[in-house]
Amino acid sequence: TLEACCSRAWTSCFNSTSIMAVEFEGGVVIGADSRTTTGAYIANRVTDKLTPIHERIFCCRSGSAADTQAIADAVTYQLGFHSIELDEAPLVQTAASLFREMCYRYREELMAGIIVAGWDPRRGGQVYTVPVGGMMTRQPVSVGGSGSSYIYGYVDSNYRAGMSKEECLKFTAEALTLAMERDGSSGGVVRLAVVSEQGVERQVILGNQLPKFSTV
Amino acid sequence: TVPVNGSEEGKIKAPKPMKTGTTIAGVVYKDGVVLGADTRATSEEVVADKMCAKIHYIAPNIYCCGAGTAADTEKTTDMLSSNLTIFSMNSGRNPRVVMAVNILQDMLFRYRGMIGAHLILGGVDCTGSHLYTVGPYGSMDKVPYLAMGSGKLPAMGILEDRFKGNMDLEEAKALVSDAIHAGIMSDLASGNNIDLCVITKEGVDYIRPHRESIYNYKRQAKYKYKPGTTPVLNKTVNQLELVHETVQMMETAGSS
């Protein structure tokens, strides 16, 4: 389906992507690689695929760059408006629903795989995945993009409920590194963010600082 | 193809739209932004314009390099410039680069890639110096250095090798100029001269051309023909007869 969807020439595509989000007690950890490709050319090797939608809600974008940027902009507006009307911080589920509405309604025209993650006072840290096609489901840990195929096994075997923030950061960094290692179309740096009641902490792990795995 | 005289012989092919087949580049340096472009516009295998201007004016502090279909980049940048001027007048504020980017993104996304404009926007506003690229489908990237167009691969090589943060003006100009030069040398569709545009808080220095091609062809002879070169074989005069004349007065501000 990657080739079928990418039949448009000159699409800046992040289908070549690895994105991930993990819930922990008190928040979420999200991560992404930093590569955007147009065909075989890397159009941007330091892309930021972790986009803020609201103060404590982020989305990880995979799929067509143009589509996901446009959707994220639209949802940011809608959620901001909703939040002002309510005079209250929006729920992560609301953000995810807005993404789902748009991705499902325009599913024929769009190519977007989005992971919505954030913290709200009512339910704490939550991760919702809205893959291509417009389904929405909540998961404690979610991976996406072309590089995700290579790390399902790693994620399924290494995820434990009740990990701390530091453990989640290490888990995400290692999973994304492994994905970037094997997926030719993911690479660059690993961008991480922790979203919690205290706010957002962002970090970047440069290429030479990524965790090392021996490949025999 | 257009059949001539309704017959199969003499079919004329409609000319292809002019593509800029270009090398454009931009770099953020200590005091602002340097944009560069080559000046060749091709229509298939013929050079349609040897001194094409690819760095378009958007606002006094924002310029845009365009690659892709020449007409699309021209019109898109014109429209963007008009919109920003109107905004400036309405709000009493100087336009910001990020606003130009948002307007472009909205428009290009709406047209679903049908507008073949690959743009590099650079400018200096109250928030600092910025360099953005906008693709034909409406995707946007914000980066400190960039090359686009058919010559972007060689240009990017030069930029990746020599870019440093906080360069001074001469270094930045040399870097952009060399990046475009690499594109010109390695890409058939890029060529001729190199234009540079330096944007700072103080103003804009549009250097056209910054570097001229050493292969400037000087015409060997004059191609003007003296009157009388073409023999006149026949002359027919048709007197047009004035049949009827009417005068209609118009209400204008100055009329009595």
A210 belongs to a structural domain: no
β-strand partners of B36: B25, B196
Window 19-78 of B: residues touching A by CB (8 A cutoff) are none
A203 closest CA partner among A59, A30, A47, A67: A30
Q: Report helix, strand or coil for B181.
A: helix
> Residue B105: its chain A contacts at CB < 8 A?
69-70, 73
Q: By the 8 A CB rule, do B89 and B81 touch?
A: no
Is the residue at A7 inside a domain?
yes
Q: Does residue A212 sit within a domain?
A: no
Q: Give the mean model confidence (pLDDT) for residues A59-85.
A: 96
Q: What is the dihedral of CA A182, A187, A190, A195, to 10 degrees?
A: -90
> What pLDDT is attached to residue A8?
43
From chain B, the residues in CB contact with A11 under 8 A are 113, 137
Q: What residues make up the domain containing A102? A: 2-205
B141 contacts A43? CB cut-off 8 A: yes
Q: Are B32 and B201 in contact (CB under 8 A)?
A: yes
Candidates B139, B159, B163: best to mutate against A (most CBs of A within 10 A) is B139
Query: In angstroms, how far apart are the furthest CA atoms of chain B?
Result: 77
Q: Would you call B20 a catalytic residue per the annotation?
A: no
Q: What is the CATH number of the domain that holds A124?
A: 3.60.20.10
Q: Do residues A22 and A138 lie in contact, with contact meaning Cβ atoms separated by under 8 Å? A: no
The pLDDT value given to residue A5: 34
Catalytic residue selected from A1, A11, A17, A38: A17
State the Cα angle at B126 between B38 and A65, rounded to 5°: 60
Within a domain: A198: yes
pLDDT tens, A106-126?
Answer: 999 999 999 999 999 999 999
Mean pLDDT for chain B?
A: 89
Q: What is the pLDDT of residues B215-242, one digit of tens each?
A: 777 778 888 888 888 898 999 999 999 9
B138: left (phi over 0), alpha (psi -120 to 50) or beta: left
Predicted confidence at residue A200, as pLDDT, reads 97
Q: Helix B97-110 and helix B70-91: axis angle, to 10°?
A: 130
The predicted pLDDT at position A4 comes to 30
* Residue A211 counted as domain residue: no
* pLDDT for the residue numbered A12: 57
Residues A132, A109: contact at Cβ < 8 Å?
A: no
pLDDT digits (tens, 9 = 90+) for A22-64: 999 999 999 999 999 988 889 999 999 999 999 999 999 999 9
**Number of independent structural domains in chain A:** 1
The SS3 call for residue B23 is coil
> Is residue A214 domain-resident?
no
From the list B22, B42, B76, B133, the catalytic residue is B22
pTM comes to: 0.82
**Domains in chain B with CATH codes:** 23-212 (3.60.20.10)
Q: Is residue A135 part of a domain?
A: yes
Nearest CB to A66; choose among B118, B133, B135: B135
Confidence of residue A10 (pLDDT cuts 50, 70, 90): very low
Candidates A75, A126, A70, A80; CA nearest to A97 is A75
Residue A3 has pLDDT above 80, yes or no: no
| pLDDT computed for residue B15 by the predictor | 65
- ipTM (interface predicted TM): 0.82
Q: What pLDDT band is residue B18 in, cutting at 50, 70 and 90?
A: low
Q: Specify the residue for token string 């991705």.
A: A103
Is B113 in contact with A10 (Cβ distance < 8 A)? yes
